[in-house]
Amino acid sequence: MSTDRVITRSVPDRVRRAIGVAEVPPRLAALVTLPDHDYLDAFTLEFRDADRWTAETWARAMFEDDRAVLRRAATRGLLGVMLSRPAPPGRIGNYTVVAPDPRTLRGDVESKLSEDQVIVIVGADEVSLVTAVRYRVPIARLTWGALSNLHRSFAPRVLRYAAARIR
């Protein structure tokens, strides 16, 4: 399982984060189906009446962007990454949607380096984004070690961005 260091703290604007298997709330960690994952985190945005929207709606607001490319490029500077164009049913961004239901959506993606899973969970007054990574090759640990800091700064922003889009 995970060898990453454990950090739990609040992020400004009502986003809580939990980094590491020992810190992610069990109710969120239990939704991960990726066996023997090496990395796990969870970010939760407090958002009144979050359950007015489905997990799929939240996920699309987080990971897709239907605006023109130039406007998306401007947003990239704010978010740190370019969001994907709207995907067909069964996909959100680069992720294959697996086992969606109104409150939970799991997206899986594989590469030569790793298998990754994101889970969007909607509660009455919060939405969570869980990320799990399993390294396929040793170099993946080094690669994710470098990228995980960017991921941890991006995740709270993508939750806030989705909340702004969904309102």
Q: In terms of residue numbers, what domain contains 145?
A: 7-166
Query: What dihedral do alpha carbons 135, 79, 48, 132 form, nearest 10°?
Result: 0
For residue 132, the domain's CATH number is 3.30.530
State pLDDT tens for residues 62-120. Answer: 988 654 443 444 444 443 443 445 556 777 777 788 877 999 999 998 889 999 999 99
pLDDT band of residue 2 (cuts 50, 70, 90) is very low
pLDDT recorded at residue 88:
63
pLDDT recorded at residue 7:
42
Q: Can you give the pTM of this predicted structure? A: 0.80
Question: Structural domain tally of the chain?
Answer: 1
Question: 94 lies in a domain?
Answer: yes
Question: 157 lies in a domain?
Answer: yes
Question: 2 lies in a domain?
Answer: no
In order, the DSSP letters of 29-69 are HTT---TT-SEEEEEEEE-TTGGGS-HHHHHHHHHB--S-H
pLDDT recorded at residue 13:
57
Question: 67 lies in a domain?
Answer: yes
